[in-house]
Amino acid sequence: MIQIIDKSAQFNTTIFNGNFVVNKPVANGFSQTISPYSSLFYWSHAVATNDCEFGLHPHEGFEIMTFILEGKVSHFDTASKVWTPLQTGDFQIIQSNSGIQHQERIAKGTRSFQIWFDPNFYKAIKENPAYLDYHSEHFPTAVENGVDTITYIGQQSKAVSITPNLTIKKLTFASTTKISLPLDETSSYTFYVLDGTGLVNKQRVKKDDAIRISNTQQLEIDFVGQLFYIQTPTVLNYSPIWTA
């Protein structure tokens, strides 16, 4: 199954008087098209058109990752108890577990992902919370399947995730490239078009489209630009919180 989800079919909203513009390719309670699956609960793509601040607020159970695609964010939480600066190419992991509070200051022009996973909520809430930050220099570009690839979560990554069998990568196609990308038929994927245009299995994709994939062994790509993707098991050995 391969499904293209245009930005208009995602959940789109603004906050902070229109200064924080959001589209969500994965969100609970809006439509079946963008509903959570596997361990992936929530995915928000946001652009700050002015300086914004999220005040101190709580989380528990979920593993929350924020990727700074462009710009800068300052982050504070009750586990690290310090303000941490994050810039383009950096990302953070909040393992909220038994409970954590955090606060974010987001600079004008910042573009980011925030993504929530259920690592097994009912086990996680029995563990102490943790905060980890990673910087762009921790993640060198490698060539995989003929494409420049950065692995944020997965084999050979320095990042530590508690969500089982999770892979997150960014693919950069510097020029129009045709490849057949091998996929794991037992996994589900969401690709996000960060930039560029092209064809995925002969279907046209463009910036801010999401692509949901399952039960597929090969993905035929004819593309220039950047793709970001998340891979999770199609079948978990625990029940995610939203199915309880």
Q: Which residues are annotated as a binding site for Fe cation?
A: 57, 59, 102, 104
The secondary element (H helix, E strand) that includes residue 209 is: none
Binding region: 57, 59, 102, 104
What are phi and psi for residue 8, nearest 5 degrees? -65, -20
Calpha distance 153→104 (Å, rounded): 23
Across the chain, where does the E strand assignment appear? 2-5, 11-15, 20-26, 40-48, 52-59, 63-70, 72-77, 83-87, 91-95, 100-106, 111-117, 130-134, 142-144, 147-153, 167-182, 187-200, 203-206, 210-214, 218-233
Report which of 161, 201, 159, 49 is spatially closest to residue 110, judged by C-alpha positions.
49
